[in-house]
Amino acid sequence: MKRTEAARRLAPPAYATEGSAGADLAACESVVVPPGEWRAVATGIFLEIPRGYEIQLRPRSGLALRRGVTLLNAPGTIDSDYRGEVKVLVVNHGREPFRIAPGDRIAQMVLQPVVVMNFEEGGGLSETERGSGGFGSTG
Ligand SMILES: O=c1ccn([C@H]2C[C@H](O)[C@@H](COP(=O)(O)OP(=O)(O)OP(=O)(O)O)O2)c(=O)[nH]1
């Protein structure tokens, strides 16, 4: 079904359906992303994420399949101490300009627990069979 302008205006900025991993995230501004380019798209959403969690911004598979549109930095990270507006870095790999209207769902958000890393300098690393082999070293 084609969404009308009125439906777009009424759409909430983010919505989750039961059983879905992510909540869809909508744009709050009109943006045109030309082929081969990217834009930071405003959502009008400001979050306070509990410490120990992050939100990942992920592409929507339908936009990727139909339009070649995805997120430049997928998954985008929203830190728990970030208090600014959530923006979505939309990149257009397709051949047509990608037109975004307020209310269009352009990404999805997933809440994830994170393990906080603390680094300290050590004397050396333990030996393993792999050692420093990587990038196809096993064939
Ligand atoms: O797609 C994104 C990615 C990031 N952010 C916001 C929230 C995040 O907490 C902050 C910083 O993101 P990130 O750590 O990826 O950016 P950076 O390039 O490492 O910058 P900084 O030095 O500000 O951490 O920018 C967004 O709104 N959308």
What is the domain-level CATH number for residue 89? 2.70.40.10
* Euclidean distance between CA atoms 48 and 23, whole angstroms: 16
122 inside domain: no
State in Å: Cα 77 to ligand 1 middle.
6
Q: Mind listing the pLDDT tens digit for each residue in 76-111?
A: 999 999 999 999 999 999 999 999 999 999 999 999
Host domain of residue 86 = 2-113
Ligand 1 centroid – CA 78 distance (Å) = 6
**C-beta of 57 in contact with ligand 1 (< 6 A):** yes
Helix, coil or strand: residue 62 = helix
pLDDT in tens, 27-75: 999 999 999 999 999 999 999 999 999 999 999 999 999 999 999 999 9
Q: Residue 108: its pLDDT value, please?
A: 96
113: preceding bond cis by omega (within 30 degrees):
no
* Per-residue confidence (pLDDT) for residue 11, from 0 to 100: 53
**Does ligand 1 come within 6 angstroms of the Cβ of 89?**
yes
Question: Is 76's C-beta closer than 6 angstroms to any atom of ligand 1?
Answer: yes
| ipTM of the shown complex | 0.98
**Residue 2 pLDDT > 90:** no
Looking at residue 20, what is its pLDDT?
77
139: in domain: no
Q: Establish if 89 belongs to a structural domain.
A: yes
Task: Find out whether the beta carbon of 106 lies less than 6 Å from any atom of ligand 1.
Answer: no
H-helix segments, 4-139:
5-10, 61-67
CA–CA dist 93, 109 (Å, integer): 21
Q: How many structural domains comprise the chain?
A: 1
